[in-house]
Structure 1
Amino acid sequence: MSRSKSEMRRSVLDARAGLSPFVLAQHNAELAEWMYRLPVELDPGDVVAAYVATRAEPGGTAMLDALVDRDLRVLLPIVPEGEPTRLQWGEYQDESSLDRGRWGLLEPMGHRLDPDALHQAKLILVPAVAADLTGARLGRGAGYYDRTLVAVDAPVVAVVHDDELFDDGVPHEANDVPMDWVLTPGRGFCRVATPTG
């Protein structure tokens, strides 16, 4: 499979657009269940960084609520103004703590944390358009996550629908941060082999 990032992105997003609300809700419920079986040991009060799903992205607030139910502190990204740079963060309490931010994305209200707040995280869940078992992740193309993740040590998990996880072949470049795990609703957490070069 030798496709460009833009070709794969378009193909996957077109398929996502055809997902029924019922199927998406089912996927999100399954992903929420996986939050009780995370691939790393966490104690109450530990920090997990996650995201607010948009449109047909897998995840939803059910996934975030499951993390809060485990007494974990959940940080969510805030897109800063200006050119793409590292993401800022805010703390998630519940769905009522979210409001529309840049580009209409739901973001946490209240105190804004700088990008270095991510160093507190013991696990980082990130959205992806596609991912593969070599650790490659295809994002939306602006590079916010690659800029943000390059300096952190916590394990990073790309979250995709089952048919968006490939054995290999997801296009990537040298500055793309590799994933440690991929999470899908049906397969759960899949450990990846980081690509070499």
Structure 2
Amino acid sequence: MSESKSEMRRRVLDARAGLSPFVLAQHNAELAEWMYRLPVELDPGDVVAAYVATRAEPGGTAMLDALLDRDLRVLLPIVPEGDPTRLQWGEYHGGDALETGRWGLLEPRGYRLDPDALHEAKLILVPAVAADRTGARLGRGAGYYDRTLAAVDAPVVAVVHDDELADDGVPHEANDVPMDWILTPGNGFVKIG
């Protein structure tokens, strides 16, 4: 019998909670290095949407700073008040310009961009709890990213730890937006399809 979304989410998040801070720091450093070898051609000033990692989520601000180092414009999500809907966005200007937002998530301080700002993105990096080589992504369960990504055409990359990428079997539904790549610290960008 296959795992449900909630069972898989619980199992992976429990494993993440036991991840050594040293291993997490190494994973984040490796992910930052991959920002210099993105799977799409980008010019200075192009927009990349990303996220601020929480707890043992892969990514960290090193990944965001590497994008800035490439002279890219980085948009980060802002969770709007109310029921789950499309994400708003703000521009990343370094870790010191982040503030605590809804649910304790770090968000960019300053002007909020509406969800349509994401149409400017040439590449979108999203957090995932797990992903598989068919393009299925397991998120946290509220559906913010699926609602947001359904309206855009840019390539989407799910970022996970190496052991959170499966060949297949990540539970998904018809309204879950499939990924174009999966990024892991050890394997880099894995193309779907």
TM-score, normalised with respect to structure 1? 0.97
- Residue 2 (structure 1) shift: 1.3
Unaligned 5+ segments in structure 1 are: none
Q: Which residue of 2 aligns with 1:146?
A: 146
Within a 5 Å distance, the mapping from 1:67-146 to structure 2 comes to 67-146=67-146
Query: What is the CA–CA distance in structure 2 between the aligned matches of 1:140 and 1:68, rounded to whole Å?
Result: 27
Query: What is the CA–CA distance in structure 1 between the aligned matches of 2:97 and 2:76, rounded to whole Å?
Result: 11
Q: Which residue of 1 aligns with 2:61?
A: 61
Q: Secondary structure at the match of 1:41?
A: coil
Q: Secondary structure at the match of 1:86?
A: coil
Query: What is the CA–CA distance in structure 2 between the aligned matches of 1:178 and 1:131, rounded to whole Å?
Result: 10
Which residue identity lines up with residue 89 of structure 2 in the other structure? W
Q: Secondary structure at the match of 2:82?
A: coil
Query: What is the CA–CA distance in structure 2 between the aligned matches of 1:136 and 1:110, rounded to whole Å?
Result: 33
Q: Which residue of 2 aligns with 1:172?
A: 172
- Residue 44 (structure 1) shift: 0.1
Q: 1:147-196 deviations in whole A, cap 9, x for unaligned?
A: 00001000000000000000000000000000000000000000012xxx
Q: Which residue of 2 aligns with 1:49?
A: 49
Which residue identity lines up with residue 149 of structure 2 in the other structure? L
Q: 1:117-172 deviations in whole A, cap 9, x for unaligned?
A: 00000000000000000000000000000000001000000000000000000000
Which residue identity lines up with residue 180 of structure 1 in the other structure? D
Within a 5 Å distance, the mapping from 1:7-26 to structure 2 comes to 7-26=7-26
Query: What is the CA–CA distance in structure 2 between the aligned matches of 1:44 and 1:192, rounded to whole Å?
Result: 26
Query: What is the CA–CA distance in structure 1 between the aligned matches of 2:180 and 2:36, rounded to whole Å?
Result: 18
Q: 1:81-113 deviations in whole A, cap 9, x for unaligned?
A: 000000000000100110000011100000100
Query: What is the CA–CA distance in structure 2 between the aligned matches of 1:192 and 1:162, rounded to whole Å?
Result: 16
Unaligned 5+ segments in structure 2 are: none
Which residue identity lines up with residue 165 of structure 1 in the other structure? L
Q: 1:51-82 deviations in whole A, cap 9, x for unaligned?
A: 00000000000000000000000000000000
Runs of 4+ in 1 over 4 A off after TM superposition: none
Q: State how many pairs are aligned.
A: 193
Matched, 1:185 2:185: yes
CA RMSD of aligned residues (A): 0.6
Which residue identity lines up with residue 48 of structure 1 in the other structure? V
Query: What is the CA–CA distance in structure 2 between the aligned matches of 1:17 and 1:96, rounded to whole Å?
Result: 25
Query: What is the CA–CA distance in structure 2 between the aligned matches of 1:11 and 1:91, rounded to whole Å?
Result: 33
Query: What is the CA–CA distance in structure 2 between the aligned matches of 1:140 and 1:94, rounded to whole Å?
Result: 25
